[in-house]
Structure 1
Amino acid sequence: MTDRHVVLRAIEKALAEVLEREVTELSEDTGLFDDLRLDSSSVLELLLLVEDGTGAVVDPEQLDIDHLRTVRSFADYVAGLPAEGEVGP
């Protein structure tokens, strides 16, 4: 499992890169689709960047749209993932 604070920092950094701008006023309630207007290709880029930034390994078979609704739901999902080299639950 990955420290949640590390995950939140990785998400913020990844969003700035994906959106090609500084993300201001980002909160855990910020909607990835509704507020930030991410699309499928930007979500894929976000996933890859967060994996790189945290060492977490996303299993596409376990990923659900509800994990991507808000910064909070995405951070909770990533924080619960095994890091690279760890054995999952």
Structure 2
Amino acid sequence: MDRQNVVTALEDALTEVLERPVTGLTGDVKLFDDLHLDSTTMLEMLMALEDSIGLVVDPEDLDVDDFLSVETFTDFVLAATFEEMTA
């Protein structure tokens, strides 16, 4: 999975969770500030990503810094999927 695939999956998940179209995300978009996510919508987004791309996240591995922006979240997803592939 590459960065663009993660961003596309993120756009799809956010569209589902926020019930409005989310497209054209760039790395500098802030998830909480720009998209107005909260902890509940963040968890819903993670569950949507679990369903769509098979993302498996251990709650112990979650760090608020991973959710600062599209770029930091994409890095988090890529690291999580890499760890899963090498486990």
| TM-score under structure 1 length normalisation | 0.84
CA-based RMSD: 1.8
Q: Which residue of 2 aligns with 1:70?
A: 69
Q: Residues 25 and 5 (structure 1 numbering): CA distance in 2 closer, same or farther, change over 3 Å?
A: closer
In structure 1, the gaps of 5 or more residues are none
Equivalent-residue separation in structure 2 for 1:19 and 1:13 (angstroms): 10
Does 41-50 or 24-33 show the bigger shift?
24-33
Seq. identity, %: 49
Query: Higher RCO, 1 or 2 (CA under 8 Å, sep at least 6)?
Result: 1
Equivalent-residue separation in structure 2 for 1:72 and 1:29 (angstroms): 6
Matched, 1:23 2:22: yes
| TM-score under structure 2 length normalisation | 0.85
Q: Which residue of 2 aligns with 1:44?
A: 43
In structure 2, the gaps of 5 or more residues are none
Whichever structure has more helix as a proportion of its residues is 2
